[in-house]
Amino acid sequence: MSLLGKFFSNAGKPAGFMGRVMIWGMNIFHARVAHWALSRLNIPEPVQIAELGCGGGRNIRDLLDKYPASHVTGLDYSPLSLEKARAFNRKMISAGRCEVIEGDVSAMPFEDGRFDLATAFETIYFWPGLVRCFDEVRRVLKTGGHFVIVSESDGSDKPSQWFNSVIDAMNLYTPDDIENALRSAGFKEIHTEHHEAQPWIVVTAMK
Ligand SMILES: C[S@@+](CC[C@H](N)C(=O)[O-])C[C@H]1O[C@@H](n2cnc3c(N)ncnc32)[C@H](O)[C@@H]1O
């Protein structure tokens, strides 16, 4: 794999020095798409939220700000992401509003029906099979709970296609791919919104 490929592979599971640089960048460069997506959300106020593939943890803080009565559980399988997410949300963890847990989205350490909302920002590209993982997300949601997927690529843009070509573990998905996988996993009320000028998408679905 090329050096660039090695560096950008840290987006899928950050580790080592390059992973630290990647997490620092993710917390900065994913902010715009995340803020746009959060501004578009129109779902009942959630109490228990799971932030899946939480990376450096900035979205945890934004969810806590948007939903002041909520508790957010961040989940990631990269020990480095967990370290960063915990440091970033130190005060909220001390206040009891947040925890950050190690786990893989394909087999989560949560009981059935625990969450009102599960979010996945910039992470499904790396998940080991969409339907399998969406099934697992559905399991941990309450009936009537929502799943929100945010990606800065709808699969059509050249920069993301380039990333896809250099990162072995990455898979780009179109809105149709995502919606079909959600349907196969048993979700309903599936809706995709596109940004007016960017290839950004926010997909919402209900259990
Ligand atoms: C590109 S980063 C995005 C991080 C953060 N959500 C953001 O928007 O900045 C992808 C994150 O998803 C995590 N991830 C990927 N696949 C995962 C899996 N199967 N289970 C848990 N975490 C996963 C990676 O470790 C990484 O921290």
- Ligand 1 atom 14 nearest Cα: 53
pLDDT for 77 beyond 70: yes
Question: What's the rounded Cα separation, in Å, for the pair 27 and 41?
Answer: 20
| Average pLDDT score, the chain | 94
Q: What is the DSSP letter of 124?
A: G
pLDDT digits (tens, 9 = 90+) for 80-89: 999 999 999 9
The two most distant CA atoms of the chain are separated, in Å, by 46
Quick one: pLDDT at residue 190?
98
Quick one: pLDDT at residue 1?
67
pLDDT for 101 beyond 90: yes
Question: Cβ(81) to ligand 1 under 6 A?
Answer: yes
pLDDT for 207 beyond 90: yes
Cα of 76 to ligand 1 centre, how many Å?
6
Question: Cβ(145) to ligand 1 under 6 A?
Answer: no
Report the pLDDT averaged over residues 130-159: 97
Q: Which domain holds residue 198?
A: 3-206
Domain count, the chain: 1
pLDDT digits (tens, 9 = 90+) for 12-60: 888 888 888 888 888 888 899 999 999 999 999 999 999 999 999 999 9
Query: Domain containing 167 — which CATH number?
Result: 3.40.50.150
Provide, rounded to the nearest whole percent, the portion of the chain with pLDDT above 90.
81
- The least confident of 9-18, 127-136, 140-149, 185-194 is 9-18
Which residues lie below 8 Å from residue 121, measured CB to CB, with a gap of 6+?
A: 30, 33, 34, 37, 51, 53, 55, 59, 150
Report the pLDDT averaged over residues 110-126: 98
Question: What's the rounded Cα separation, in Å, for the pair 117 and 206?
Answer: 9
Provide, rounded to the nearest whole percent, the portion of the chain with pLDDT above 70.
100
Atom of ligand 1 lying closest to residue 58 CA = 9
**pTM higher than 0.75:** yes
Report the pLDDT averaged over residues 141-167: 94
